Amino acid sequence: HSERVSIVSEKIAVSMGMKPSDIYEIKMAGKYHDIGKIAINTDILSKKEPLSESEKLELKRHPELSFNILNSVQELGPVADIALYHHERWDGKGYPAGLKGEEIPIQSRIVAVANVYEAITGKNRQYSKPLNKEEAAKELEKGAGSQFDPNIVGIFLKKVLNKIDIDSK
Residuewise pLDDT in 10s, the chain (169 residues): 899 999 999 999 999 999 999 999 999 999 999 999 999 999 999 888 899 999 999 999 999 999 999 999 999 999 999 999 999 999 999 999 999 999 999 999 999 999 999 999 987 666 678 899 999 999 999 999 999 999 999 999 999 988 776 444 4
Query: From the CA atom positions of the chain, what is the Rg in Å?
Result: 15
Q: What is the pTM of this model?
A: 0.93
Residue 52 to residue 110: CA distance in whole angstroms: 29
